[in-house]
Structure 1
């Protein structure tokens, strides 16, 4: 029967476990090992919902990301019996056991190949059957995290902050105020449902490659601002699995920021304000801040191609009326309305061009303020292209966010990292699904005749069959390029963490903390 491991026992187990752990399953590991690091109140049953004293007066919607699942992904049965959906426990067991990149997740959160408090004091929250959730789980090593996940088979898990002490031991502290979050990546969340008032191809949880361009625009704008304006270097974007993207800013100086600094950066990037039914959503100072001027240059081509041409946002009279409400001159608006009423079905590209052509001809207005018109047009471009951030995700150090590489329970898609060097090529509908990955493993052959990732990584005529047999399961599938990108990101992060200056900052901060 599983048993709880004391903090003293934990410390004895943190020496070299991760250095020898492989992502592939080990013999006889069924997730019920007696060395399992049990963090629940009850060890032989599913955890119960958190009692009031554990909630720390934080609303659930404030601490979890908002990309909720909707309709279940269609079932697929490789043998005609077991549907390979993300809600099937055996499917999730196979995925977590054979495909999830535990080693690199550990190194990413730990910032070192050997265990530290960066990982050991990190909170993990599990979403279990019947929407039961369990917070304040923590693990000294990735192997123990992996074993508990295989035991509980969560549909997904979230990552929280690193605390002053092991989150499991928070109730043993004499002074409860001593338990507080110390560090976590600065995170951003972009969801296409926030674009429903301007995208015309899809709505709610539905997406396509046309409206995904709004996410592409957002990533470009936010990423360059974080790098050029704040000097951050280690920024990882992750597909949410359905309709959005998350940014994890992993630099040491970002992880250790308090809530006030996080709110300041979030406020710096927030431009779109107001709900779907509100009027003008952009109100910015003139002259424009350099960040907005740069953003307009990035967004202008997308506005012309992806918004005007593809989305055709003002095709209906109602939507065209909203455009007119954003223009500053009543006489010009009346002239435009008359022109558009006489030309039903006029394309948005033509309507946008009509603004300038009528303005140049006078447009019925003798006192047209061209500067105000130019400002209004810039604001319109921003309203239809600028990132719409779920700003609450970025403001709080104790917010939890879905882990990379979990499976979205509604779509079956893996939450893979997005390589920003190939941002335009990213296809959210083409990312690996748990269904497809299991098929790829089953069809993979070491002779290279059936290679899941399409890159010929099986053994061949050159006698590399032994090498092929040593491949880990994720290397045999289309998950491979995403894991390799994640690995390169993690290695670069750890390299910078080993820098003497950053190491000294770590030691000084730990001295102050404890």
Structure 2
């Protein structure tokens, strides 16, 4: 039997994510070969069937988050007919377009950053399947945490497949190469294999029992307070909202709840996801997940609400700590970078202040001359000290200014993502189809250095492979394709994270087994 030290060393052995023969081929040739093999395989299987099963392909007409609890999804057994269905849909749409007079001018085609061929080459050569499997298994080898884990695919024709599961990383890899999804999500671990759900659809034994505690932060939720961008657009100025959110949420999860293994992932466009992977986090039920989310969520109120932050005094230690993190950044990243209180935004700031006399004096001052947000923030204390209002409560003014900082800077969470055990979330290292950028890890300790606009696109990564292969490697050296690209630092960080998780998981397992032997 191996010693604990030897077992830990074994877990750090690097496993290749694809066959070595792939290294010698360009991604274009590889994509054609794999696609041709799949077409021939599908034709042979279809000819051998005596009857064609009914297939229902449901277009994704609503957000995926709203579909997670639906049962009207296709099984993997039906996937072989998707291509035929897609062709039929295209013909029907083309015929319909010929019969309808289009009166509007055609819009310019959107750029495609991740087409079918690029995605197939990416999954074939770069995606870290075995490392992902170890992460979800919390072990070097697949465990029931992987076997009974739900995966969901979004295919290139927008069909959505749920309740997929796999025995090994190779099985997952083969299915992804066969179906070539535009993205895929990871769901919970069930009591039984998700593939067997139809045989037990009404069986209460089939239920989710484990999943990482996850958080989703999206810049669209900051549209009421960011001025540089809106909707899906981002820049370095507004990305600081995500950076500040990571700082606040990460320290709270570690110091207030004792979690250690927290993985932050760039969403590929305008946000970040947190995966809390500790065993005690994975086993939380919906009620406890809701409690943690409520603990962290303080920015509330609809679009018509004047004030979105109402916290009790004295401040809870978590909120007081958050203020200490955010206050030093307020002037640079809010007042200067966003300048939220231009002439048209001043009324909102006035509504956040507690004294009518003070507000009246400030309004006159701001209407008499143009003032930027830095000057207006300074004016609040200057005018307050001038004695324009005898009824002014300085403590209430201080509290109001703290609430303003929290409203503009405190993390805005999508609570529904966090509180439900059966919620699915986009996998790390998938490619965002709208930007072509890979969903890479963000190093928490260096969050301020992360640049979402510098994250490599899949087309750039494949080009780097081709360019690297012109360089002669050292004799006997085996170089994985991801090591030849800008993906390398992200994969290496993910590997260190997974190794740390597996070591702690093994240590905890030994302790639990030792406790169970006590009499």
Q: What TM-score does the superposition give when structure 1 sets the normalisation length?
A: 0.81
CA apart distance, 1:173? 2.7
Partner of 1:25: 19
Partner of 2:412: 388
Partner of 2:366: 340
Q: Deviations over 1:308-345 (max 9, x none)?
A: 11111101x2311101100000110011110001112x
Q: Aligned runs of 1:314-325 on 2, under 5 Å?
A: 314-315=341-342, 317-325=343-351
Q: Deviations over 1:323-371 (max 9, x none)?
A: 1100000110011110001112x11011000000111111x21110011
Partner of 2:339: 312
Q: What TM-score does the superposition give when structure 2 sets the normalisation length?
A: 0.80
Q: Aligned runs of 1:102-117 on 2, under 5 Å?
A: 102-117=129-144
Mapped partners of 1:245, 1:332: distance in 2: 40
Partner of 2:290: 263
Mapped partners of 2:412, 2:298: distance in 1: 8
SS of 1:210's partner is helix
Q: Are the structure 2 counterparts of residues 506 and 492 from structure 1 closer, same or farther at C-alpha, using a change threshold of 3 Å?
A: farther
Partner of 2:302: 275
Structure 2 residue 488 is the aligned partner of structure 1 residue 480: yes
CA apart distance, 1:129? 2.5
SS of 2:482's partner is helix
Decide which moves more: 125-134 or 156-165. Answer: 125-134
Mapped partners of 1:72, 1:171: distance in 2: 41
Q: Are the structure 2 counterparts of residues 61 and 115 from structure 1 closer, same or farther at C-alpha, using a change threshold of 3 Å?
A: closer
Mapped partners of 1:430, 1:342: distance in 2: 44
Structure 2 residue 244 is the aligned partner of structure 1 residue 217: yes
Of 337, 355, 360, which aligns to 1:329?
355
Q: Are the structure 2 counterparts of residues 103 and 243 from structure 1 closer, same or farther at C-alpha, using a change threshold of 3 Å?
A: same
Structure 2 residue 384 is the aligned partner of structure 1 residue 359: yes
Q: Are the structure 2 counterparts of residues 59 and 311 from structure 1 closer, same or farther at C-alpha, using a change threshold of 3 Å?
A: closer
Mapped partners of 2:125, 2:302: distance in 1: 43
CA apart distance, 1:178? 1.0
CA apart distance, 1:291? 0.2
User: CA contact under 8 A between 1:328 and 1:372: conserved in structure 2?
Assistant: yes
Higher percent of residues as helix: 2
Q: Aligned runs of 1:107-146 on 2, under 5 Å?
A: 107-146=134-173
Q: Aligned runs of 1:371-382 on 2, under 5 Å?
A: 371-382=395-406
Partner of 1:350: 375
SS of 1:498's partner is helix
CA apart distance, 1:59? 3.4
Q: Deviations over 1:482-513 (max 9, x none)?
A: 000000000000000101456637998xxxxx
Partner of 1:12: none
SS of 1:140's partner is coil
How many positions carry a matched residue from both structures? Answer: 443
Decide which moves more: 110-119 or 235-244. Answer: 110-119
SS of 1:387's partner is coil
Q: Deviations over 1:61-115 (max 9, x none)?
A: 779xxxxxxx98735xxxxxxxxx31x2111110001000111100000111122
Mapped partners of 2:465, 2:219: distance in 1: 32
CA apart distance, 1:131? 1.6
User: CA contact under 8 A between 1:414 and 1:433: conserved in structure 2?
Assistant: yes
Partner of 2:505: 497
Q: Deviations over 1:165-200 (max 9, x none)?
A: 000001223852111001000000000000011111
User: CA contact under 8 A between 1:100 and 1:405: conserved in structure 2?
Assistant: yes
Mapped partners of 1:423, 1:303: distance in 2: 17
Q: Aligned runs of 1:2-401 on 2, under 5 Å?
A: 22-25=16-19, 30=34, 48-49=56-57, 59-60=66-67, 74-75=111-112, 85-86=113-114, 88-173=115-200, 176-315=203-342, 317-344=343-370, 346-362=371-387, 364-401=388-425
Structure 2 residue 421 is the aligned partner of structure 1 residue 414: no
Partner of 2:94: none
User: CA contact under 8 A between 2:68 and 2:423: conserved in structure 1?
Assistant: no
Q: CA RMSD in A?
A: 2.8
Q: Deviations over 1:217-250 (max 9, x none)?
A: 0000000000000000000000000000000000
CA apart distance, 1:27? 5.3
User: CA contact under 8 A between 2:147 and 2:193: conserved in structure 1?
Assistant: yes
